[in-house]
Amino acid sequence: MAADLAELTGMIEAALPGAAVEVIDETGTGDHLRATVSAPQFEGLSRIDQHRLVKAAVKERFNDGTIHALSVKTSVPG
């Protein structure tokens, strides 16, 4: 089953209100998804904790096997 990029984006936005989120499929095969997330909630958190928040938001899609890998790039809105 192909990953629904809009759904993933929506899941991250719902978990982190106010975040700017972009999810792209780098290879067009669904194997290399990349999420770029800028969220005010990241302020003061270590990068690993920022990534944990993003991964937790889409956990369901990992668990059901829709996605296998998600590269994450986070930032605090400047």
Partner 1 sequence: MPHMADPELKSKIEELIAANPVLLFMKGTPDMPRCGFSMRVVQVLDQVDVDYGAIDVLPALQPLREVTAEISDWQTFPQLYVNGELLGGCDIVEEMFESGELAEALGVEQPETASVPETAPPAQSPPLQIE
Outline where the chain has alpha helix (H).
Answer: 5-15, 47-57, 59-63
Applying CB under 8 A, which residues contact partner 1?
A: 26-27, 32, 47-48, 51-52, 69, 71-73
Residues 6+ apart with CB under 8 A from 56: 15
Place of tokens 């975040």: 19
List the one residue out of 64, 69, 32, 67 whose CA is nearest residue 51: 69
What minimum distance in Å lies between the beta carbon of 51 and partner 1?
A: 6
What minimum distance in Å lies between the beta carbon of 53 and partner 1?
A: 11
Closest to partner 1 by CB, 38 or 73: 73
What minimum distance in Å lies between the beta carbon of 22 and partner 1?
A: 15
Closest to partner 1 by CB, 16 or 37: 37
